[in-house]
Structure 1
């Protein structure tokens, strides 16, 4: 079976991704001083979320943690990430945890919640009054989350019909049709050997991820994988994040809320008048804070990088992180984007198109403005204008019309019945009889 070079095909219609392999440290004079930072990181090593039907390891006896759960390797990866963050932000954060300095958010998934806790264990070793046990060198630190179906910022799971329509349009573009056609041999091959119908890159991504995890566990892969693993399935799987944020509108609706949330932190820190917060009490707390951590998934990182035109078609590995940092140099403010994909390698400094490595704050804001939604919900649901305040989900316009119309009809029916019975009501309840004569 001969498979095509998908990377070259994609190059012909993709944006120019800039990935500068330049190491960077927080004390580099050329880059100035970090004064605030947003860190988005992927969870650590996990078990497969599911195996394909013909997988020889499609049994929980091989995965005692359960499907899609963090492993001990993953816990250590996140702990080491926390230790690395401590070194990087030691000048920003005190050794004693305080909510005034840091805020942690996670998607509502076991492996990301546990990854957040493991990284915090490395970031904040309990000291002094925060030592609550002589045996346990750990302290509980709050991790904030919301249900995935309501999370438009980090899990990107909140419903967005406009995004779905735009994604469908993108998949019908000639260049995307050609790209998908180049994967036909691979899809047919996977369908033949996995026992399931493989028709899209989402399933390719799931299969590649499963094979990758099995190799990390030193499980021998079936012989049929020799011609497709690690490539071309690895390269094909990596395309999923570029396709999910291919158009400007996809970028705006998928990764825009996360980028908006991060930049609002910087705007509050700098007193930028372009952002007026709704919650003044919360805004005052954010002004004090210096680091914001987001525990997410490979989709979170891949979509964010591609939205900034920085994705290099390589799946973000376990415990990798994207750092968007506010820096100060010579009295001016700048923003840098850094990619950390291993605790053993220095991070890479990235350069977004249209700016320099040390991007002036105002320039960065201007360059990212087109993919920042003003009102994400209104853009996602342009035909809905009535909201259910208890669930923050829209009522269907037709349902509202039927409800209002039905109420009016019932009211009119009751009024008509009342008038009818009023007319039928006798004028007298009895007739007075004349007394008999004596």
Structure 2
């Protein structure tokens, strides 16, 4: 979905080219002949063109994912059930809200025209949305698991000064929330669900309990934003990115590289991912461009691949988080907004996992396992040697003595 800003930039480039051509026409006759001769000899410069777009967006408005124990609005209060879209419902995660958002976006992007119109009363045409079962989703649903090293990093994050201080700062508030909601264990990591439920209820004009004041909602939102930081940052962000958002970024890099490869047959012009707020945060953390605030419904991170006048490729990123405003530019640290593709690949390389399963292993665990195996083998060999030695000794003791001639008493001697 190229942004209008991108279209304007392309149009501006075309106008600039037009002004250059008009200036050639007004040049002196000898210069004009020289210009024409060069055009015959040299290849004609290509205008900058948009070659490929890949984007990731969060699903639209929905009902809460779940209710807290004392919530007056349990699942029966929502006609569509928990976690469903309430207004508008391409790879997508296997959730109704993301699948329906993908379908709704496609309906807006590709209204039927001409032969595509199968019913004049229905301005829609079917377009497939691909997904995989939730249990097999290893690209769009974060945090990815199982990953022992990531869990170890999270345990280390819980020991950081920032996490400990935040826990102390909000201890009384968390206890109050636990008491009001009936949730037994409310922590910095779990309190997001309370905010999410109350936000959905407020959005749908439901009356909130008296304890849910503006100040309470503000503090809950701050803690929800902190929970995203906890998941993908605070401590060893780059290594966390390799185990989380870097997995999706790796696939996006492959998509961009394939689109820039002229030998790639019939490559897609656009690739869309319909997913979640955690998906967006994981990706933006990997890119080191996360703003620190939860992406709102339908927010969208856009990658645009351009072929420049000289034939080289560049990548531009945009983020749209308000429906009434144009997407704003997102600049990769260390590169210009119009980032050469090779630079983009080099700068993002540190967060790309080379072997995710191997990197998810805990180094000490691997060494301990190897040591256990070696000790087990040595122990088995020693045990067999002991058994063999005992067997030899036992047989040696139980063997009858050799025969010898014994004269009978009373036998006459010659």
TM-score by length of 1: 0.69
The residue number in structure 2 matching 1:163 is 150
Alpha-carbon spacing, 1:147–1:161, altered in 2? closer, same or farther (3 Å): farther
Provide Cα deviations, 1:238-281, integer angstroms capped at 9, x if missing partner. 12222211121111111111111111011112239xxxxxxxxx
Aligned positions of 1:117-266 closer than 5 A: 117-156=103-142, 157-226=144-213, 228-246=215-233, 247-266=237-256
Which gives a bigger RCO, structure 1 or 2 (Cα 8 Å, sep 6+)?
1
The residue number in structure 1 matching 2:316 is 336
The residue number in structure 2 matching 1:350 is 330
Instruction: Give, in whole Å, the separation in 2 of the partners of 1:181 and 1:356.
Output: 41
Q: Secondary structure at the match of 2:243?
A: helix
Per-residue deviation at 1:120? 0.7
The residue number in structure 1 matching 2:9 is 28
Alpha-carbon spacing, 1:291–1:176, altered in 2? closer, same or farther (3 Å): same
Provide Cα deviations, 1:113-146, integer angstroms capped at 9, x if missing partner. 1111111111111222322233322222111111
Per-residue deviation at 1:180? 3.0
Contact 1:201 1:236 in 2 (8 A): yes
Alpha-carbon spacing, 1:325–1:382, altered in 2? closer, same or farther (3 Å): farther
Unaligned segments of structure 2, at least 5 residues: 14-47, 364-371, 381-414
Which protein is bigger by CA-based radius of gyration? 2
Instruction: Give, in whole Å, the separation in 1 of the partners of 2:179 and 2:62.
Output: 27
Provide Cα deviations, 1:176-234, integer angstroms capped at 9, x if missing partner. 32233333232122112111134323422111111111111111222211153431211
Higher helix residue share: 2
Provide Cα deviations, 1:356-385, integer angstroms capped at 9, x if missing partner. 2222212211111011112223322478xx
Contact 1:337 1:351 in 2 (8 A): yes
Match of 2:277 among 298, 301, 315: 298
Per-residue deviation at 1:172? 1.9
Identify which range, 293-302 or 304-313, moves more after superposition.
304-313
Instruction: Give, in whole Å, the separation in 2 of the partners of 1:307 and 1:262.
Output: 12
Per-residue deviation at 1:36? 0.9
Alpha-carbon spacing, 1:144–1:381, altered in 2? closer, same or farther (3 Å): farther
Contact 1:190 1:198 in 2 (8 A): no
Instruction: Give, in whole Å, the separation in 2 of the partners of 1:155 and 1:284.
Output: 29
Instruction: Give, in whole Å, the separation in 2 of the partners of 1:290 and 1:227.
Output: 45
TM-score by length of 2: 0.72
Identify which range, 183-192 or 107-116, moves more after superposition.
183-192
Contact 2:75 2:82 in 1 (8 A): no
Q: Secondary structure at the match of 2:191?
A: helix
Contact 1:161 1:380 in 2 (8 A): yes
Alpha-carbon spacing, 1:108–1:176, altered in 2? closer, same or farther (3 Å): same
Instruction: Give, in whole Å, the separation in 1 of the partners of 2:127 and 2:214.
Output: 46
Identify which range, 197-206 or 287-296, moves more after superposition.
197-206
State the superposition RMSD in angstroms: 2.7
Match of 2:62 among 31, 35, 46: 46
Unaligned segments of structure 1, at least 5 residues: 1-22, 76-103, 273-282, 384-396, 406-438
Contact 1:337 1:349 in 2 (8 A): yes
Identify which range, 323-332 or 215-224, moves more after superposition.
323-332
Instruction: Give, in whole Å, the separation in 2 of the partners of 1:302 and 1:255.
Output: 8
The residue number in structure 1 matching 2:84 is 69
Please list every run of at least 4 consecutive aligned residues from structure 1 whose deviation after the TM superposition is greater than 3 angstroms.
23-26, 29-33, 227-230
The residue number in structure 2 matching 1:434 is none
Per-residue deviation at 1:308? 1.6
Contact 1:235 1:313 in 2 (8 A): no
